[in-house]
Amino acid sequence: MSNPERDGLTRRTILRLGLRLGLVAASIPGLPTVVTSRVGAQGTKPGANLVGKLEGPEVITDPAKFPKTFKEAPQLAELVKAGKLPAVQERIGQDPLVVKPLREIGKYGGTWRRGFTGAFDTSNGHRTAQNDKLLYWDYTGTKLVPNIARAWDVSKDGKVTTLSLRRGMRWSDGQPFTADDFVFWFEDCYQNKDLVPTPLSVMTINGKPIAVKKVDLSTIQFVCPEPYFALPTVLASVWGIGHHARFGRFALGGFAPAHYLKQFHPKYTPQAEIDKIVADAKFESWVTLFKARNDACRNPDLPVVTPWKTVTPINTPTWTLERNPYSVWVDTDGNQLPYIDRIRMTLGENLEVINLRAIAGEYDSQARHIDISKLPVLLENQQKGNYRVYLDPSDQGADVGLFCNQSYEKDAEVAKWLSNREFRIALSHGIDRAQINETFLLGLAQTGSAAPGERTPYFPGAEYRTLHAGYDVKKANAILDKLGLTRRDADGYRLRTDGGGRLRLQLTTYVGFLPFTGIAEMLSEQWKKIGIRGEVQELERGLATTRLLANEHQIYFETQWGADNMYGHQPLFFPGEPQSPLGPLYGTWYASAGAKGKQPPSRMRELMEKYRKSFSVPDQERTKMAKDVWKIALDELWIIPIVVNSPASQGVRVIKNTMGNIPSRLWNSAVSDNPHIAHTETWFFKS
């Protein structure tokens, strides 16, 4: 491990460099909110060369271009020679997943070093090494491509989606991977109310459940009571089906290794035997045992179909994943992938430690947990650390947003204002986004609305790019006065209309990927000019989530994860689930199709109905409906955006110069699971 004092990389050094950059940036009037020039020791602005072109490898689907012979890593060849593994041709089956590397055919070997923050940092592995989605996206995020499934077809009426599996494919323990693993998941996991008490919204269409059926060993069908044209997009994304490694620990995922998990399921194993396992392993019930055994991050014995598999679990100081000998990925020369032997993640006691290690060159590739405010010192140490810094701006909309709780009930006066559109618009016009951008994001963000990036399919139009997002103190004050908030106290803060004193808005933050608390404190200072008192409450993330689920928060700071594709990720720009910071009671109402929760107001119901119906229509019509959904959300301003479409969240990449096939820019999104959108199984060490 590096010595921060020895390397001169103290916290004081980092803060000083960050402050110096902020002062320089703030002194340049009219500075654009995109990357314009290189940051170096002189304190200049980050360079355009840090944002490259979007690029990535290609999945080959034409069998005529498939390799005819296959090779493998030396360690696996030795096991084959010793009779401990079948030949590589037998392990990959008849239908390998062929990937053309971005730049060159790589070579085998090496350990990829990364950092992680502990047992709950599961996405670190999912995004890096545990790609087993049934379908996938190309590197642009605009085209579906095969993945674990080799092909798919949607019937003309949209009611049946057929998936063709890869013939001869195997789990990491060598057992066949077949349609039976899908049937087992659907009938014995998903439909078991003990394991999955609440149905997934995407396992229904217009509130009606869909079914999974086996056609033959290598063919399955999702059979729907109504058209479900969006299902392939769902299967390529992060919804709870079509991704065993991520969702197995919740008994979700779309498929599961039946041959392994049946020993923990009372349908297949006598209850007395399971009870003994539960008692010996100190679990609460067979349900918690089953879910724990189906956890790809914590159970090294679990068979998987990912390029790498866990060998030392995430709940230890070193989380290690090694190549899966039955990986179905191969390059265009017939080399079984991945090239890299193993991924070793070392625990960082806090985010500062992870950033210091990145600065010292101790990681081979890291973007998760890298603080954008460290960019100046990262760039200063590129040569010393033998790495290069890349920036990947996202298209997700709000990197930092004020999620106004629309179902808040604890304080009737505050609830009245949070649910008032004009009040939210006034709050938005009272925010100096440029100042926040320069101070906390080095000027690398945009400062418009929460709309997704213009290159995304669902961008609603140029007129929505800056809607309600201009800094206009005069306009904000005029709106608040018109609403009747005219009385102020001696300090200039507006008074409640119910006689309860100063109107106070609680701003709930947590320690995350972005400096939410610092931004909230600056925002509160800015709101003084419009007479609004913002009170910042920084909570541990678990406590913040507990308060959210209890519907007790007022305004919650969060990122608009995955909003560049509302069919690829739970949409966060309206209350779509009970965990939504925009209104847990309304989210419960939507998720339960009106059976639970609280009925939303008419404009929100209009959006919800349009969104729900859009899953049923063909692609072209769905795109139009999606834009209409965005228009409502942006106009209602349930999320007040602060900074948008920046590289701040998982978009500052620190890559060793020794690594090959690294893209200049990655599609950065919760849907893309970057960096694996670049098919990290094709990355390799050049030396």
CATH of the domain at 481: 3.10.105.10
Contact predicate 448/641, CB 8 Å: yes
Q: Which CATH number do you get for residue 668?
A: 3.40.190
> 313: domain range?
52-129+306-392+656-687
pLDDT at 48: 53
The answer on 460 and 598 residing in a single domain is yes
Do 466 and 324 belong to one domain? no
Residue 462 burial by Cβ neighbours in a 10 Å radius (0-12, 13-18, 19+): exposed
Are residues 563 and 448 both part of a single domain? yes
| pLDDT value of position 338 | 98
Residues 509 and 448 in one domain: yes
In a domain, residue 208? The reply is: no
Same domain, 485 and 456: yes
| Beta-carbon count within 10 A of 654 CB | 25
User: Per this entry, what is the length of the chain?
Assistant: 687
Q: Is residue 602 part of a domain?
A: yes
Residue 226 maps to a domain? no
Residue 3 lies in a domain: no
Q: Which of 447, 475, 450 is nearest to 464 (CA)?
A: 450
| H/E stretch holding 162 | strand 160-165
557 and 539, same domain (yes or no): yes
List CB contacts of 186: < 8 A, sequence separation 6 or more: 211, 212
pLDDT number for residue 593: 86
Tally the C-alpha atoms within 13 A of residue 25's C-alpha that lie toward its C-beta: 31
pLDDT at position 199 is: 87
Structure tokens, 408: 């808040």
- This prediction has a pTM of 0.89
What confidence score (pLDDT) does residue 10 get?
35
d(CA 621, CA 626): 9
Cis previous bond, 209, omega within 30: no
- Name 308's bridge partners: 323
Residue from 524, 564, 515, 566 nearest 400 by CA: 515
Percentage with pLDDT > 70 across the chain: 93
Inside any domain, residue 423: yes
Which residues of the chain fall short of a pLDDT of 50? 1-43
Angle (nearest 5°) at CA 166 between 162 and 167:
110
Q: Please give the pLDDT value at position 255.
A: 98
> Does the bond joining 338 to the residue before it have cis omega, within 30 degrees of 0?
yes
Residue 153 falls inside a structural domain? no
What's the pLDDT tens digit per position in 95-146? Answer: 999 999 999 999 999 999 999 999 989 999 999 999 999 999 999 999 999 9
pLDDT tens figures, 314-353: 999 999 999 999 999 999 999 999 999 999 999 998 889 9
For residue 277, being part of any structural domain is answered with no
pLDDT score recorded for residue 540: 87
Report the distance separating Cα 373 and Cα 18, nearest Å: 6
How far apart CA 682 and CA 129 sit, in angstroms, is: 11
**Torsion sign across C-alpha atoms 417, 423, 425, 426:** negative
365 and 405 together in one domain: no
Looking at the fold, whether 382 and 443 belong to one and the same domain comes out as no
Q: What's the total number of domains in the chain?
A: 2
Report how far residue 360's alpha carbon sits from residue 7's, in angstroms, rounded to the nearest whole number: 8
Looking at the domain assignment, is residue 460 inside a domain?
yes
How far apart CA 439 and CA 397 sit, in angstroms, is 19
